């Protein structure tokens, strides 16, 4: 089951957040050999999606999700949904999901 985490992105600003993955006993989860992907959409069936860059920091058992200022500047302000999936071999696991709120940029 995916962990729920809501995000706030300031339109036109660089965005980055880091998630450290632990098991129920608070032991770090090995991410060796994993790759990640993440998208956000207005709703599950939206044809248009915005793609996050996902980096896996194996040594820190962390997943870093980011967008450039140019990318966030192209997103209309409002509420979206997102998820993050990790892949190892043929196994895909959704590890995070939630709501993204994009706040409108005034200074352009």
Average pLDDT over residues 74-91: 97
Q: Are strands 62-67 and 50-57 parallel, antiparallel or unpaired?
A: antiparallel
Can you give the residue range of the structural domain that contains 17? 3-103
At residue 92, the 3 state secondary structure works out as: strand
* In the chain, % of residues over pLDDT 90: 93
Q: How confident is the model at residue 107 (pLDDT cuts 50, 70, 90)?
A: confident
Evaluate whether residue 108 is within a structural domain: no
Give the CATH number of the domain where residue 8 resides.
2.60.40.10
User: Domain total for the chain?
Assistant: 1
**Residue length of the chain:** 108
pTM: predicted TM-score of the whole model, two decimal places: 0.91
Evaluate whether residue 36 is within a structural domain: yes
């Amino acid at each position: 089951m995916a962990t729920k985490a809501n995000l706030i992105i300031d339109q036109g600003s660089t965005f980055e957040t880091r998630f450290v993955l632990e098991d129920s006993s608070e032991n770090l989860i090995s991410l060796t050999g994993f790759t990640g992907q993440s998208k956000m959409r207005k709703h599950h069936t939206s044809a248009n999606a915005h793609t996050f860059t996902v980096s896996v920091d194996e040594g820190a058992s962390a997943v870093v999700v980011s967008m450039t200022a140019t990318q966030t500047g192209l997103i209309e302000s409002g509420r979206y949904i997102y998820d993050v999936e990790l892949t190892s071999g043929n196994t895909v696991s959704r590890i995070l999901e939630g709501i993204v709120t994009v706040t409108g940029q005034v200074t352009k």
